Amino acid sequence: MTIKSSQTLVTEALKEIKTISTEEAFEKFNKSECNLIDIRDVRELEREGRIENSNHIPRGMLEFWLDPESAYFKQGKLDLNKEMVLFCAGGMRSALAAKSLKDMGFKNVSHIDGGFGALKQSKFKIT
């Protein structure tokens, strides 16, 4: 049995999804053109802080919270017509998550290059 490595999955995902910079994300966020979604674990948020006014959806619940057919769907949490901009700590989980949303049928999905590590060095406010 051959198992693909997590790095292989991330590399494949990066070929299929849109990656944006922290500057592009900041511009979209300030113009209210996107849902900025933090998929990190709640312990990471407690330890590292969070981007002010971002949405937190744990990686393990992302597909369920955004699926209107799911019992876990969060009605009204996000504007499903806006771009879904995902980030994690470094960009690997968000790449996989963005591909998953794309596979679900979301057309306007991206993830932030460098994740929260890069966002801490950008114009975003950390709370």
* CATH number for position 25: 3.40.250.10
Question: Which residues span the domain enclosing 96?
Answer: 6-119
| Cα distance between residue 52 and residue 29, in whole Å | 11
Give residue 8's pLDDT.
97
The answer to whether position 127 is within a domain reads no
Question: Does residue 108 lie in a domain region?
Answer: yes
Average pLDDT over residues 70-94: 95
pLDDT tens figures, 28-68: 999 999 999 999 999 999 999 999 999 999 999 999 999 99
How many residues are recorded in the chain? 127
Per-residue confidence (pLDDT) for residue 56, from 0 to 100: 97
- The answer as to whether 53 is a domain residue is yes
What confidence tens digit (pLDDT) does each residue in 7-35 have?
999 999 999 999 999 999 999 999 999 99
Residue 32 belongs to some domain of the structure: yes
Domain count for the chain: 1
Q: Is residue 98 part of a domain?
A: yes
When pLDDT is cut at 50, 70 and 90, the band that residue 127 belongs to is very high
Give a yes or no: residue 126 inside a domain.
Answer: no
In a domain, 1, yes or no: no
- Statement: the pTM of the whole predicted model exceeds 0.85: yes
Question: 44 exposed, middle or buried (CB, 10 Å; 0-12, 13-18, 19+)?
Answer: middle
